[in-house]
Amino acid sequence: MDSLYGKTLFITGASRGIGKAIALRAAEDGANIVIAAKTSEPHPRLAGTIHTAAQEIEDAGGRALPLLMDVRDADAVDAAVAQAVAHFGGIDILVNNASAISLTGTLDTPVKRFDLMMDVNLRGTWLASRACLPHLLRAENPHILVLSPPLNLEPRWLAPHPAYTTTKYGMSLCMLGLAEEFREHGVAVNALWPRTVIATAAIDLLPDVDPAACRRPEIVADAAHWILTRPSRDASGNFYIDEAVLAQAGVTDFDRYAVDPARELMMDLFLD
């Protein structure tokens, strides 16, 4: 299978950035996309809403269902999944993309910010997975894809921002647990992380990042597409890196993903 035609993807945080890029790549195949995010009205600093993303998805050839959903709200997650199933008839793929970030040390991280990251990153991933799994178990080629890093326990990745690192690693641990728990049921559960910093709104929260030294979200979207079109029983429990995935898929030209091909790229967090 090399197409997501007719598949239904439930994507958290898909109103902008990497989540929207994954949605648009699937839309090119004619997929159904559930945009489950919390931005329904224009944000003063962030571009995109669930409605503008839905229009872009429809324009790209897909079918869109914009749903206002806060991934921290268990009842809202359950309701959104129920609406998605009622609208499209099921769910084939869950993409756990929603994430919160604060690259701050312990004394500079407010408790509310820690709680936000824990609730969105780890708890949100678990809630969305739990809600979608009964439907994924009935799908022909079910996948869960988590946007989280490989588990690199080098202290240098923990010391500068222990709260953020812990919550992102929590997502990765959740992926490993779900992959093994549902392996015999044929549900593929994998993680995907970029080799380089990606030019999204999140780079405003990263110190000393020049957007010109980044890649565009399309590289992650193309890697996600390759993963999500594999037979679900063939590969689960993997920590994929976008560049390595695309190299395996035969891609040799990575300059087309660069914001500025002439600039040296900045490597992302958690990768040696």
Distance (Å, whole) CA 149 – CA 165: 9
Phi-psi region for residue 235, left (φ > 0), alpha (ψ -120 to 50) or beta? beta
Q: Is 253 helix (H, G, I), strand (E, B) or coil?
A: coil
What tokens does 125 get? 């991933």
CA distance 124 to 77: 9
Which secondary structure element, helix H or strand E, spans residue 12, and what is its range?
A: strand 8-12
* Token representation of residue 173: 């641990």
- Provide the token pair at 256: 């087309």
Cα-based distances in Å from 60 to 26, 36, 77, 84, 166 = 9, 18, 26, 20, 37
Is 169 part of the annotated catalytic residue set?
Answer: no
Catalytic hit among 164, 169, 240, 257:
164
Can you tell me the distance from the alpha carbon of 106 to that of 141, in angstroms, rounded to the nearest whole number? Answer: 42
Report the chain's C-alpha Rg in angstroms.
17
Strand stretches in 91-205, DSSP E: 93-96, 143-146, 188-193
d(CA 158, CA 155): 5
Going by the DSSP 8-state scheme, the letter that residue 29 receives in this structure is: T
Catalytic residues, which ones? 164
